[in-house]
Amino acid sequence: MEPALCSRCRGFDAEDPPFICTVSEGGPCSACKEGADIRGQIKRLEEEIIKLKEKHHALRATMNSIHDPFIHTFPPEISSYILRLCLPTSDFGKFHAWPKRNEVNGALRLGAVCRKWRELAWMTPNLWEMLYLYIGPSTTNSLAKLLPGLVEAWLGRSGVLPLSISFTNDDSERPEIEFAIPRIIEVINLHAGRWRTLLLNVSSHIPELFSGSTHPSQLVQLQLAIGSRRSRIQQFVMKSKPFPTHLKLRDFSPTLVDIGWDNITHATLCALSSNECLEVLRRAPNLEYCYASEIIEHSHGPTVDPDTPIILHSRLRILLTAYGVTKFLNAINVPALEEWKHHADGDPSPITTMASLLTRSGCCLKMLDLYLSAPSDRDNLPILLQAIPSLECLQLKFRPNDDIFDRIFRLPADGSIIPLADASRKTFLPCLQFMGCTEPFSWDRVPQLYRQGHRRSLTLKSPINRSLISDKSAMELLELVDEGAKFQIIDTSESGDFLENFRKRRKLLVS
């Protein structure tokens, strides 16, 4: 344990001078003199360490330059292409996805390798076409002051390329931060004509600061998310109205977004009211993909009236839903729906409402992906599936009840085998080609079901542990695979395909 200083010397660290020693009349005592000498040595050594670190930093750049066998020897256009491959693509694919913060800012790391890399990075515009800005508690006052200039330099290096910008801020009452944000946005607005993707997750007063003019078809993806609850009315209005194809709203009313809606094909809606979600469907006639989750009824907005006419949307093909969507589902008709993914962990799912929507719409749903956490929902699953005779692919993020397999294969309750002459009758999921489960089900029953012969084209997929299936059943499954049956059994006890691993073990035993 480090000794504590006495009351005379107080508790100063080694780099801080103690109070003047007054123990002896001739000056400081010998211990205080020695302490002062030690502190002087520490200060000189720290200054030397700083110089050595600066020298080592410069030396590392020289080492990087010497050890680089490729970039310095290639023509600049090839070297620039290689550097670009080090960064994430600006084509985000799924609208929810955005590269990690350190990936987007990787251009700075490339420029820090050595002087030649820095020159190359500075003159490669597509290294700077993505800008990720986060301003929050970790943002220092000194950095906040520098950010407007840094953003201006970053965007300047992007040349004339389309820009993808993500701007996130946390509510802060620090004057330095509040002063810097408008200046940063002013710089970003100067490049509004090149915005391709604009993702805002900000305080409620920030969206109205983003403006400028952009070509109607330039801005493709727009996200407006309020980080805190709505404190006052905010708007997003640009000098020239953009026509994005992808729109994400989180706690941001569509009535406050001044955009052209005719081009919207993908919409992600979170923390909106049922009426606000329905308003998006009304405004976006060409919508093909819709994700709706966390639907809530705001105190300042009306809920869906039971007598409200059902909204017919003739183009919506893909629907993703999660929490609180019952009222929303009760108010829509989607005859073109082909894919539906519903996940609600810990939240009872509106099975009867979902079945009613499918029946009302008369759609030919081909793919259904479900996560049902409540046991009552799993018991009611046949009600939903009975309403989807067109279903081709069924993905279940839970273990289904065995009666689902009985219904699919029409296995009688007494376990008897259905005659092949009757097996051709299609009554339950007649078009089903694939059924996958993320949790193991009883594979021991599968050989008996498949031997009936009328569903041999059905592919089954699930994980299994070796201890949960008998060797006899595994052998029967392997024989069915050799006869053409399609099973995808993931081995959880060892990597790879369970049946292939079983086949290899049998060969070893025989040899």
Kindly report the CA angle at 361 between 360 and 362, in degrees rounded to 5? 95
Rounded to 5°, the CA angle 319-325-327 comes to 120
Q: At what angle do helices 76-85 and 115-122 cross, to 10 degrees?
A: 90
Q: What is the pLDDT of residue 93?
A: 44
How much is the pLDDT for 159?
A: 87
Q: What is the pLDDT of residue 266?
A: 95
In this structure, are residues 228 and 201 in contact, taking their beta carbons and an 8 Å threshold?
no
pLDDT for 417? 46
DSSP state of 439: S
Residue from 23, 25, 47 nearest 35 by CA: 23
For residue 19, the 8-state DSSP code is: P
Mean pLDDT in consecutive groups of 10 residues from the start of the chain, 511 residues: 52 53 67 81 88 76 62 66 65 50 59 68 78 84 86 89 88 73 91 91 86 79 78 78 93 92 95 93 96 74 58 95 90 96 79 93 96 82 92 92 83 47 61 93 86 84 88 91 91 88 85 65
16 in Cβ contact with 36 (< 8 Å): no
Q: Encode 2-70 in three state secondary structure.
A: CCCCCCCCCCCCCCCCCCCCCCECCECCHHHHHHHHHHHHHHHHHHHHHHHHHHHHHHHHHHHHHHCCC
Element (H, E) at 283: helix 274-283
CA dihedral sign, ordered 466, 468, 471, 472: negative
Whether the Cβ atoms of residue 447 and residue 470 lie closer than 8 Å to each other:
no
Look up residue 295 and give its amino acid: I
pLDDT value at position 267? 96
pLDDT at site 137: 79
Residue 403: its pLDDT value, please? Answer: 82
93 torsion bin: left (phi>0), alpha (psi -120 to 50), beta (else): left
pLDDT value of residue 455: 84
pLDDT of residue 105: 64
DSSP string, 450-506: HTTSTTTT-EEEEEE-GGGS-HHHHHHHHHHHHTT--EEEEESSSSSBHHHHHHHHH
Work out the end-to-end distance of the chain between its first and last CA atoms, rounded to an integer number of angstroms: 66
Which is nearest to 363 in space by CA: 389, 386, 329? 389
- C-alpha closest to that of 245 among 268, 262, 224: 262
